[in-house]
Amino acid sequence: MRTSDLPTKASVGLGLRRGLMKDLQAAPAGNFDFLEVAPENWIGIGGAHGAALRALAERYPLSCHGLSLSLGGAAPLDVGFLQEVRVFLDHYKVPLYSEHLSYCSDDGHLYDLLPLPFTEEAVKHVATRIRQSQDILGRRLAVENVSYYAAPRQDMDELTFTNAVLREADCDLLLDVNNVYVNSINHGVDPQAFLAGIDSGRVVAMHVAGHFDESDTLKIDTHGASVKPVVWSLLAEAYARFGAQPTLLERDFNIPVFSELVVELQTIRRLQGVEVKRG
């Protein structure tokens, strides 16, 4: 029996990937609590994959994480696409829709998540587009802090920029803990200070993932490896700051046997349980 809400704040999820479909369908109750889908990849999908999505949605709540809205882009928002997303969210009673605090299009899609300048102009621009999106969707939007490797302009730091967007747009935050760590190494920022500075009332969910250690001073956000111990520690600190929030384990390639993913999901549950008992 499906519900319209994520089960509890202390819940764990996996991304619905076609390569994982058989494992997700066969998974016993308790391995995970919800599934995350990119609506771009599932709107209008029929056949066997469409049937599998519908069957899984009967067993598990869905959350949605967008890939192509390009909230920081210069081209007008794709209103038609947003209307399609709203139909999808309403149909599957999706309680959480998130997108990236970045842009991914110019004259067409760029197939990458590119950083925004940390300026007042960018704050107002992206906040206006978030508010417009929320009006079309008929619900609040959560934006995700992204990893970045070069910033076009920085009149303020990432923390100040992120908080300013959240306030100006009156939207929520999907906190990606791995991105916090990756950015802290690549840009010499204190990750604990970043967590401490975020408005706790805005955080509604979290992501955790693996990354690639290019060097001691360069980390690449890949979603293609197991979560590093240092990121698990930062996730525990995030729970201490924001409470145990619904948390997705991201794995997009180099996908291991399903039992290895379950072990990582159990680590999330353990860390959430510590926070629940503490509270």
> What pLDDT is attached to residue 6?
77
pLDDT at 276: 58
Per-10-residue mean pLDDT of the chain, 279 residues long, equals 60 94 96 96 94 96 92 90 97 95 58 78 96 97 92 92 98 97 96 97 97 93 95 98 97 94 98 72
3-class DSSP assignment, residue 174: strand
Q: How far apart are CA 50 and CA 171, in angstroms?
A: 31
Instruction: Give the pLDDT score at 177.
Output: 98
Q: Which residues, including other chains, have CB under 8 Å from residue 131's CB and lie 6 or more apart?
A: 169, 170, 171
Q: What is the pLDDT of residue 115?
A: 81
| Tokens of residue 185, six digits | 């190494």
| Domains of the chain with CATH codes | 12-278 (3.20.20.150)
pTM over the 0.85 mark: yes
Round to whole Å and give the CA distance between 101 and 274. Answer: 30
Neighbours of 83 (CB within 10 A): 12
Nearest to 62 by CA among 83, 80, 42: 42
